Every structure is written in structure tokens, then in C-alpha cells.
Structure 1
Amino acid sequence: MAELVLSWARDSIDTEKPRLDNLLEQVNILYLNKDNTLTDFKDINDERTKEEDDVREYKCIKKRHVVPQKDPVANVNSPMNGTVLKFNINPENPISPKEWLVIADYQTKDKTFMSLCMLNGDLAVLSIHCRTKAHSPPDSGSEAPDSPTTNGMTLERAVSLTPLASMTVPRCGFGLKVVNNKLFACGGYDRGECMKSTEIYDSQTNKWIPAADMSVPRGRFSTEIVQDVIYAVGGSNGQIEQKTVECYSYETNKWSTISEVAKAKVSQALVCVDNKLYCIGGCVGPNSVPDCEVYDPESKSWSKIAPLNTGRYQIAACYHKGLIYAIGGTDGWNVLGITEVYDIKTDKWVMGPSLNVVRRGAGCDIVNGKIHVVGGSDGSNSLKSVEILDNNNFILGSTMSIGRANVGVVSFNNRLYAVGGFSGKKFLDTFEYLDPKSEEWCSYVPAEEVQKAMKNGNAST
């Protein structure tokens, strides 16, 4: 892709008086033609196309990125005045004022690339963001493939140029739920420090907003939602395991401690069925346990149910078609790929289909009527891979842009979100979602949210 941008840039400047400021200091939106050439949207002459969302968004971006006019008399006394410094990739050869070269490029995010280049003899850094165009603009010289690609890379059409906002802090082993049509993240840990902070993501403004702190710092715990109230169970404050259960009300923006568990556990799974919370497995001290309990918020009481066949923690769990699925996890020694299925009516766990890849600390939820198991760790590496339960077998789905272990996963607006986690190198404050149309993971604001923001006069997206 960087080679195509260089080719477009070389053809776009005045060869007699080359000036790169307009290219380097502004955002440029380019269309990829079928013949693998690029066309600037400003060169599209069709009146109808000028009114399209892409072009209008381009105009807004251009207004925000006006190139300042340089004062010819400024800095006349600068010691560097009149001195031109050149860089050449091969210092033994004469410096070429016409050098156009991609020195290196690197994928920083999903469909985002940074490239170090020589542009007409100047060293420059290009930032490239990719998305699809549903049809070809007139006068582009293209026959409009439905999904233009280059070098095996699909360009996303259904997204904007705006990256999804990062959380205020990185979070790993935290709680994530949807409340009042917003993502709600709470607690977790960053480099071992457990947190009690919470924050809410509004997709229409693309902002994370702080909410009320939890009662105590909590990491390696689980959350569930019952009638718009979020429950946090167990976990650790970084020193001792927690027995308390607390809940959050969006209406009052307050956390309240409401109960205690019989046995303090960390890294247990939590699933809501018929307004009751099912707590599955977990870890007590150094030992994984098979114990399972159910909590009734009305009576504020716990009851034991059948234990797992295999004691484990860091399980991915969800309720689907009348059954509770407990997927993967670890027994403390081995990372597991097993699935156990619980029938509430019979109070029994039976073995289900195995994963293709063993994983602990994965997240899961339902999208398009199927269980999706996202990320996790195989014991050595944080995983990008996703597995989908289809006809009682797990098949591999689209991979994320980055590995995420102890990740928060939730289904919202027919999209599957993967938030935070640990990449294997750093704790993450970023998130991405599985686009239902392209079936690819994306880390840019959906185009529909931009359109909503434009209608509402919101400039943040």
C-alpha cells in the first residue's frame, strides 16, 4: 500500500517546483482503483458523488487540517537558514533529489500502517488507514470491484477514519458489560495493580467517561447483569481474595455491597439465567476448584449446584439455547480445550465439543446466534484467534488484530467487542469489534456512528 501512495504522491506534485507540504501536512483520502492506482477524492467531478458521506467527511477533515502558510521572512537569523540537509539510504552514492523509496513499514493496528519513506529526497513518515468503498466513484477509471483489495488486504468501507477511543487505563482480568446501550468496564489490573475505577463508552461520541469507583479494588473477577444492574463477584484486591458481592446501578451511578460468597475465589466464570447468577469454577489459593453455585438476587442467597467434571479457572462461559457452556480454562498446570455443558433442569454437567486451540482467559458471547470464543492464552502466547461453535463443532473464525488474554468480550448492536487484555508484551487499553458484514475485526468507529454524530452536531467522531 505504501508503494501505491508513493506512486500517487510522485504523480501529484509539480515536477518543476515540487512542494510536498500539501501532501505531508494534511489528511488525504484516496480511492483504490481496480488497476491498483489511487485517485484523490478532490479530483472526482461528478456532482452526485460530491455529496456522498465520504466526500463530505473529507471536506470536514480538510478544514481541520489547513496547512499554515509559511512566512518567507521568518527565521532569517536561524543558524540553519539556507542550509539544506539531505538523507540518502546509501551514503556512498550521490544524494538524489528525486529519490522515492519505501524504507520500512509496520502494521500498528487493524488496517492501520506506518511507513518510513523517502519522498523526493525527503525523509517522511506516512500513516495509512484503510477501508472499503462500496462502489467506484465516476471518473475514477475503475470498473468498481465490490471489495477492492491490494496485497491481500481488504479495505473497510463500513468504517470511518476515526480510531476507536482507548480506555482511560489499560485493563486486564476486568468486568465488561453493556448497560443503557453503552459499554461498561470496571476494575481489573494493570501490571499487577488491581483497580477499582470504572468507565463507560458511548459509541455515539466515541468517548470513555469515568463512572463511580467500585467499593474495593478488584482484579481476576467476573461480572453479570440482572435487570440493568451489574453484579461483581469475587476476585482479588491484589493481596487477598474477595468474598464480597457488589452491584452497580446506572441510574444512581453507585456501587453497593449486597452479599458475600461462602468461599472466596478468583477467575471464576459468571453467567445469568432467569435473573439468577451461576458462578462456575475458579481458583482458591493455588488450587483450581470444580465448585459451582447459584445466587438469587431476590433472596440474596447462594445455593450449590453440581460441580464441574474438571476443576478449572479462567473459563469462558455463556448461556445458549437453554444450556450453560464452560469453555477452556486451566487446571493450574495445563491449559485446556475442553467444554462442559450444564443443563439446569437435570443439574448435570456433560462433555461438549473441544476447542481447536487450548485457551485460558478467553472471552465469549453470542453473535449471529452462535457462540464466539475470543482470544485468551495457550500458556505461552496471547491469542488472536477466534473459534465459533457451529453444529456442535468449533470452527476457526476471523482473527483479531492483536492477541488478547484475559480479555473482556461482549456482544452489542450485533457486533462482538473485544476490549483490553494482555498482548503478551503489554497491557491493553484498546478495543476492536467483529463487523457483521465484512466478518473482519475493526478498530475504527463504524460509519453509521459517524453519520449519527454528524446529524446530532457532535464533532468528536
Structure 2
Amino acid sequence: MIYFLRTFVLIGLLLCVISCSSDSEARPSGDPETWESFAFPESDCQWNDLAPSAIPKLEAYPVIVGNKLYTFSGFTNGLAVIPETEIYDLISGQWSLGASMPLPVTHMGVARVNDDIWIVGGFAGDHPGTATSRVQIYSPGNDQWREGPELPVARASGSLVLVNGKLHHFGGLLPDRRTDINEHWVLDLNNINAGWKADDPLPIARNHLGGVALNGNIYAVGGQFGHDGGNEDVAFVHVYRTDTGNWDRLADMPLALSHFEAGIFVFENRIYVVGGISPNGARDTIFVYDPQSDTWSEFCGIPQRLLAPGARMYGNQLLVLNGGVNGAGSPISTFRYINLMNK
């Protein structure tokens, strides 16, 4: 049976009456009228296995360039950092290794710039790691790394988004691994020598948030307050409008959520969020945001509750790989996909 997008209905205490996960949670805040359904591609929600990655990991970032998927960094067993670049050939279905990251980091910002991959900041080394300001650029064409213009300060757990020829780095943590920041740094790729410049700060400081570009704007999604010594997941969503240079508040996520930074992406003018962690633990959900109507809904679901999986679209296939089963202690190598069918 074709699976249609589940809808959320506000009744009384804002209960989520239909959910792909095993538990239901109340929506924390936002306009009740945003709990509506919208048309979206269909799927039978049958997950298929692909060849697993060689290294089990979580918080690794996938980037697709051409017909290859590159995964960068992450934690493996014992929260050891992964320097290796794993490469999956989307045509042959085979994995290989690329050049290792010069300074292995986690909690970094990642963005594709043309055919290069920029890695900005992060915590260097095994957990807990030390914050860095370094910018590392990987070129798939020659399998080599080079240095980019450093951030003005050492930062980690922020988001990196490319829009209109500029890189935006926002949110994250101070080097103390506890203090949230609302800083917003911008690098004009047409004037790299000018370096990173401060821009309008994120309205609510937080870390482990997702970031994407859509229709010329930047979306800052979810995240958490704090890190070491206690944290709190949040549901906030903001949009940075590049035409005005200002941030606006949008409808909150269906629940407070973080640790999905590698699993947020845009497909057909909507934002997907795959997996992550909420106050009730790791999630098996896929949330979808429609910016035109400022609404959230839920789509399919993944076979396991995963903290920090990677997720991307390739053609009509939704790819989900790696992550931590029920948390950070159990990284996996699993790689799966479902097919989406346009209505």
C-alpha cells in the first residue's frame, strides 16, 4: 500500500496523534495552524540494504559529488575520531578510501563548494577534543587536501551553509564545550582575502543545529543548549533572509531535536530531517518542512533509532547511513535506501 504523508492534528494539549515512531510527543510550541498536511512524493517505505561502510561511525558527514558519496570524520567505537575519507561509488556499489583529513575533527561545519568540500572548525582528535579555527578543503578530483582561510576564533558544533557565493558559519560552542554562541560569520568566496566577517547573529544561541540553504535563504533548524555537563534539545527554527540580512522565527519542529546535522538536506523545495536525538532518546523519524506553508509533517521512518546518521538524496533514492543505535555508544556501518515516487 502506498504510504501517504502522516499529518499532525492539534487537539487539546497539542498531542501528535499519528507518528511513525513508537512513542508520541507533544509539539513544544508554535502556531497550531502550522500542523497541516501537504502534498509530497510517495513511497512504499520499504528499506533496502546497500554495502555497509568499512568503518562503523556516527556524526560522519556525507557529501555527494557526481556519482560518488564521500563521508568525512565522525566517531567510531570508544568515541575515537576517524581521519579516513570513505568513498562510495553510487554506480558500482563499492567502497574505497580517500586521503585522510590532515587534522581529524568532529563537530565541524561542512559544505560543498562547486566540486570541493569545505570543513570548518570542529573539535580536533578523539573525544572530547580541542576546538579549532582551521578550515580544511578536500578536492575529490585529485584526492588532496589544502588549507582555507581560518575562522577568526576557534569554534565547534556550528553549522556551515553556502548561499549566493558566500559561506555562512553560525551557532556552535566555545572551546569550553559548554557555552552556546550565536555568532554568524560570513566568507565571500569572491573576496576570500577579506576573510570571515561578522554578520547578524543567530537569534537564539545553540549548538548541534542543522543548517541548509533553500531558495536563497538559510535555515537554522533545531539543536541543543549546552553540551558537556548537561544539555537540552530544542525545537527552534529560524530563517536568515539574504535580501534583508535578518533572521526570522518560523514554526518549531514537531519536537525538540538535535544531532541530525549530517542528516538534514533539501529535496524538491522541502527540508528533510532524518534521525537525531530528542529528550526521549534517539529517533527513527523523518520530519519534512514546507517553507511555503511553514508546516512540518512526518514521512516514513527509519528502521532503527539513530543518533547522528548521515542522509542524502541521490536521484529518487533517499540514502541513510551510519549513526549511533540508541545513542553514541553503538556506531554502525549500515547503509540503506528507500525509493521516492513522484505523484
TM over 0.5: yes
What aligned pairs does 1:431-450 form with structure 2 within 5 A after superposition?
431-437=335-341
Please tell me whether the aligned partners of residues 184 and 200 of structure 1 are also in contact (alpha carbons under 8 angstroms): yes
Query: Please, which runs of 5 or more residues in structure 2 have no aligned partner?
Result: 1-43
Please tell me whether the aligned partners of residues 163 and 217 of structure 2 are also in contact (alpha carbons under 8 angstroms): no
Q: Give per-residue Cα distances to partners, 1:348-381, cap 9 Å, x unaligned.
A: 1110011112100112111233111111100341
Q: Which residue is equivalent to 1:322?
A: 216
Cα offset for 1:275?
A: 2.7
Paired with 1:359 and 1:384, the residues of 2 have a C-alpha distance of 12
Q: Which residue is equivalent to 1:366?
A: 266
Q: Give per-residue Cα distances to partners, 1:95-118, cap 9 Å, x unaligned.
A: xxxxxxxxxxxxxxxxxxxxxxxx
- Give the residue type in structure 2 aligned to 1:349: W
Q: Does 2:247 correspond to 1:355?
A: no
Query: Please, which runs of 5 or more residues in structure 1 have no aligned partner?
Result: 1-153, 440-461
Report which structure shows greater RCO (CA 8 Å, sep ≥6): 2
Paired with 2:121 and 2:342, the residues of 1 have a C-alpha distance of 38
Paired with 2:324 and 2:116, the residues of 1 have a C-alpha distance of 27
Query: Which stretch shifts more, 334-343 or 270-279?
Result: 270-279
Paired with 1:369 and 1:351, the residues of 2 have a C-alpha distance of 19
Q: Does 2:185 correspond to 1:293?
A: yes
Paired with 2:266 and 2:331, the residues of 1 have a C-alpha distance of 25
What aligned pairs does 1:75-224 form with structure 2 within 5 A after superposition?
163-190=49-76, 191-224=78-111
Q: Structure 1 vs Structure 2: percent identity of aligned residues?
A: 24
Cα offset for 1:230?
A: 0.5
Q: Give per-residue Cα distances to partners, 1:63-87, cap 9 Å, x unaligned.
A: xxxxxxxxxxxxxxxxxxxxxxxxx
Cα offset for 1:331?
A: 1.3
Paired with 1:218 and 1:340, the residues of 2 have a C-alpha distance of 27
Please tell me whether the aligned partners of residues 45 and 300 of structure 2 are also in contact (alpha carbons under 8 angstroms): no
Please tell me whether the aligned partners of residues 222 and 269 of structure 1 are also in contact (alpha carbons under 8 angstroms): yes
Paired with 1:263 and 1:379, the residues of 2 have a C-alpha distance of 31
Q: Does 2:169 correspond to 1:275?
A: no
Given the superposition, is the C-alpha separation of residues 171 and 438 from structure 1 closer, same or farther in structure 2, using an over 3 Å criterion? farther
Point out the structure with the larger helix share: 1
Q: Which residue is equivalent to 2:33?
A: none
Paired with 1:310 and 1:196, the residues of 2 have a C-alpha distance of 32
Given the superposition, is the C-alpha separation of residues 155 and 272 from structure 1 closer, same or farther in structure 2, using an over 3 Å criterion? closer
Q: Does 2:133 correspond to 1:243?
A: yes
Paired with 1:316 and 1:254, the residues of 2 have a C-alpha distance of 27
Q: Which residue is equivalent to 2:41?
A: none
Please tell me whether the aligned partners of residues 234 and 257 of structure 2 are also in contact (alpha carbons under 8 angstroms): yes
Q: Give per-residue Cα distances to partners, 1:146-171, cap 9 Å, x unaligned.
A: xxxxxxxx795x96xxx301111122
1:225 is paired with a residue of what secondary structure? strand
Count of residue pairs the alignment pairs up: 282
Please tell me whether the aligned partners of residues 67 and 91 of structure 2 are also in contact (alpha carbons under 8 angstroms): no
Please tell me whether the aligned partners of residues 226 and 276 of structure 1 are also in contact (alpha carbons under 8 angstroms): no
Instruction: Give the TM-score of the pair, scaled to structure 2.
Output: 0.78
What aligned pairs does 1:333-344 form with structure 2 within 5 A after superposition?
333-344=231-242
- Give the residue type in structure 2 aligned to 1:326: A
Instruction: Give the TM-score of the pair, scaled to structure 1.
Output: 0.58
- Structure number with greater Rg is 1
Please tell me whether the aligned partners of residues 175 and 222 of structure 1 are also in contact (alpha carbons under 8 angstroms): no
Given the superposition, is the C-alpha separation of residues 241 and 346 from structure 1 closer, same or farther in structure 2, using an over 3 Å criterion? same
Cα offset for 1:274?
A: 2.0
